[in-house]
């Protein structure tokens, strides 16, 4: 069965650089969630989209923005990167309500 | 206030034994869902099992079962006949509400399970 695809899997950036993370949900899933997991921490919700519209927002810094495109893939844009942004970034997709969320493999971002 | 509490930072179990991972939750919603995810050292989040708040039967998926006690607000994960490959971090998570697109998960702190041969 098709799963959630995230790219890139690993990313190394320097402070103050920008990064773009991509997420391709499971086919026919219309909802995407982004989570950030710092080292040794539990995942924290950042933002979600349903039918290409932002539907919920968590503790996402103003330096981050995201959107969902017409083909339902989503991108998380991160600017002015800080050392504290180093984390595992997960995308999860779902369909319907109530719904199970299926996670992608994550993008490991390292800011140096 | 913490909505999901996992009180066991680490657990060590002998192979083939059963293990129970504790999870308590706090919500005022009538409709919610409880999830367990496994995160091996490679980092991916693997969905294990789901229990809806209105489900009368405890959820089961192969060797995994969820001991759902609604009055106590607990949703413990039971793994039967543990295997070496079960060694991982386990997260309990809760989804509140039914608004599509706004059903974010809130996670507990996790329990690191180690299976000894």
Residues of A in contact with B44 (CB under 8 A): 103-106
Q: Which long-range contacts (CB under 8 A, 24 or more apart) does A104-107 make?
A: A104/A3, A104/A4, A104/A5, A104/A6, A104/A23, A104/B44, A105/A4, A105/A6, A105/A9, A105/B43, A105/B44, A106/A6, A106/A9, A106/A37, A106/B43, A106/B44, A106/B45, A107/A6, A107/A7, A107/A8, A107/A9, A107/A10, A107/A11, A107/A21
With CB atoms and an 8 Å threshold, state whether A98 touches B95. yes
Residues of B in contact with A59 (CB under 8 A): none
The 10s digit of each residue's pLDDT in B4-59 is: 999 999 999 999 999 999 999 999 888 899 999 999 999 999 999 999 999 889 99
The 10s digit of each residue's pLDDT in A65-83 is: 999 999 999 999 999 999 9
pLDDT score, position A35: 97
Q: Is the pLDDT of residue B1 over 60?
A: no
The 10s digit of each residue's pLDDT in B70-81 is: 999 999 999 999
Cβ–Cβ under 8 Å, residues A24 and A5: yes
d(CA A44, CA A22): 18
**Is B44 an interface residue toward A (CB < 8 Å)?**
yes
CA distance A81 to chain B (A): 22
């Amino acid at each position: 069965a098709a799963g959630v695809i995230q790219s890139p899997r690993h990313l190394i950036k320097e402070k103050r650089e920008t990064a773009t993370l991509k997420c391709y949900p499971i086919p026919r899933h219309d909802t995407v969630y982004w989570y950030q997991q710092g080292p040794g921490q539990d995942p924290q919700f950042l933002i979600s989209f349903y039918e290409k519209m932002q539907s919920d927002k968590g503790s996402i810094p103003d330096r981050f923005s995201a959107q969902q495109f017409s083909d339902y893939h989503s991108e998380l844009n991160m600017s002015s990167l800080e050392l504290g942004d180093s984390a595992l970034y997960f995308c999860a997709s779902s369909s319907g309500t109530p719904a199970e969320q299926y996670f992608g493999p994550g993008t490991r971002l390292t800011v140096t | 206030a913490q909505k999901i509490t996992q009180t066991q930072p680490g657990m060590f179990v002998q192979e083939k034994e059963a293990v129970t991972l504790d999870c308590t939750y706090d919500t005022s919603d009538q409709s919610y869902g409880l999830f367990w995810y496994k995160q091996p050292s490679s980092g991916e989040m693997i969905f294990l099992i789901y229990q809806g708040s209105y489900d009368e039967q405890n959820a089961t998926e192969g060797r995994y079962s969820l001991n759902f006690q609604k009055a106590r607000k607990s949703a413990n994960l039971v793994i039967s006949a543990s295997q070496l490959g079960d060694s991982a971090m386990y997260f309990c998570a809760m989804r509140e509400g039914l608004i599509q697109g706004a059903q974010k998960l809130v996670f507990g702190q996790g329990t690191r399970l180690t299976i000894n041969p």
